[in-house]
Structure 1
Amino acid sequence: MRFGICTDVQNINEAAALGFDYIEAKLNAVAALDDAEFSKLVQQVRRSPVRVERCCLLFPKTMQVIGDGYRENEMILYLKTALARMQTLGADLVVFGSGKSRNFDADMSWQQAFQELVGVTKIIGTIASQYGIHVAIEPLNRQETNLINTLTEGAALQACVGLPNVGLLADSYHMASEHEDWNHIVQVAPLMHTHIALYEGRRYPTMQCDEVDSFMTALQAAGYDASMSIEGKSDNWQSDAKSALSILKQACEGRR
């Protein structure tokens, strides 16, 4: 298993020093940089011993991809800029969470919103394939979005999209928030990527607990051994990230 952490690209050297294999950058922040700022960022990444391999936060919160606020041409233009920058950084997988962007209004049915999201995700996946990038659908808890809240729903979306570069992500925090059965991981396998944080406070997993153990056990049962990014909160990110990385490596070693 390769372990990364969701953090600002500017923290890449610190993440490398802590022992992470990669970082997962915020794509909406990278896309918002001007050309000079992005060029400087690229040079920093190229000097680092680790790479930006994954990106999260696909869309800015102001961009709607469902309902009346959806502007297809605007989305496509944004995607081409953002994904080209991803490619330049060397990242090959983007997480499609962006809960606010995919929220639908009360005057729209879930089924209608789902069908619109299928169409949008096909566009995302098709454009991403032009840059050699995979798209991991991230189910989010109901406090963050009202569309695609469980792995089962995410798997249904993936199946309807039907593109080889569009897959599914399992996030331990969102699964716990939705009280989703860990065995769903096995049922929807194979996964494309994973996130981890503790349910209580969405904190870094700095200590061994049943939550981490159950998540890791389910991933092992599903035959998953690819990448896992820590995505959560911390009062001291470097200290907590180091502890969390140690816990996760121990959890993996204990299952070999």
Structure 2
Amino acid sequence: MSIRWSIRIRSLSELDDARAAGFDRVQLTVDAVMAWDDAGFQAERNRLLATGVSFEVFEAPLPRNVQVTEQGFNTYLWTEYLNTAVRRISELGCRTLVWGDGRARLLPVEGDISTSKEHFYQFMFILCGIAEQFGITVCLEPLGPRRTNFLNSLDEMDACIALIGKHNLSMMFSPRDLVELHADLTELSKYRQKIAHIHVENPEVPETSSPPRASDRYDYLAFFKALGIIDYAGVISLPAGSRKDTLAYCRQLWASAEADV
């Protein structure tokens, strides 16, 4: 099973720290590549590629304050944004684009929610269509009710993927998600063909994405064994702030899990 380890970073200023911690892959937000005009981006692209760091995975196709399900959401404006953004991340080597921003898909608490859902499905179809042109897989993350009120289970996410009907749409999750969703690790085999990315976060800190530690009470080894059982082979991203010992701990767990599967 081929596992590639990555670290989520919040800005390019964290790139050197990521490399110092032993990571040769980083997971950056899409808006980080939208700070320049085309000429400025090309210069930055050349600099970033020269570092030897892989930008295989990006996250958050839209800025965090943008809500697709909000009345007045400008589909045309954000489609134009995505056309540029997805092209740019592809030029940096992106192959997977993950989206775990629960606010972006919040449904209204009163009134008809069917229109809001339809807007989200339509936008995901557009996003996947753009990503498809560049060979990029899009991954949605099922989230607990603490973070959103839409797509709150693995089954709901599976149904969403089927409804949108794009071959490059998959799902991702983390231990934090599984705990919040009260999902059992044995359920993963049902979705093995649709799992394309993994985050590993400490579920004991539900309010934020926190690096896993050996002192945590969560059974990370069981989680990694479950991934081994479904033959997961891809990128596993660790939270921002992960250090050398975080990476070493997770690699050790993966090796132990692999030996037992």
- Superposed pair shares fold, TM > 0.5: yes
Q: Which residue of 1 aligns with 2:29?
A: 26
Match of 1:251 among 242, 250, 253: 253
Q: Which residue of 2 aligns with 1:69?
A: 72
Alignment partners' CA distance in 1, 2:23 and 2:238 = 10
Alignment partners' CA distance in 2, 1:59 and 1:39 = 21
Q: Which residue of 1 aligns with 2:18?
A: 15
Unaligned runs of 5+ in 2: none
Code of the residue aligned with 2:41 in structure 1: it is F
Change in CA separation of 1:44 and 1:140 when aligned onto 2, cut-off 3 Å: farther
Higher mean C-alpha displacement, 80-89 vs 24-33: 24-33
Q: Which residue of 2 aligns with 1:165?
A: 168
Code of the residue aligned with 1:120 in structure 2: it is F
- Work out whether 1:195 is the aligned partner of 2:199: yes
User: Identity of aligned pairs, percent?
Assistant: 26
TM value normalised by structure 2: 0.86
SS of 2:231's equivalent?
Answer: coil
Contact (CA 8 Å) 2:64, 2:104: kept in 1 or not? yes
Alignment partners' CA distance in 2, 1:250 and 1:217 = 12
Q: Which residue of 1 aligns with 2:222?
A: 214
TM value normalised by structure 1: 0.88
Contact (CA 8 Å) 1:58, 1:98: kept in 2 or not? no
Alignment partners' CA distance in 2, 1:60 and 1:187 = 32
SS of 1:66's equivalent?
Answer: coil
Alpha-carbon distance, 1:124 to partner: 0.9
Matched residue count: 250
SS of 1:43's equivalent?
Answer: helix
Alpha-carbon distance, 1:21 to partner: 3.6
| Root-mean-square deviation (Å) | 2.1
**Aligned pairs (5 A) from 1:51-130:** 51-109=54-112, 112-130=115-133
Alpha-carbon distance, 1:59 to partner: 1.0
Contact (CA 8 Å) 2:6, 2:237: kept in 1 or not? yes
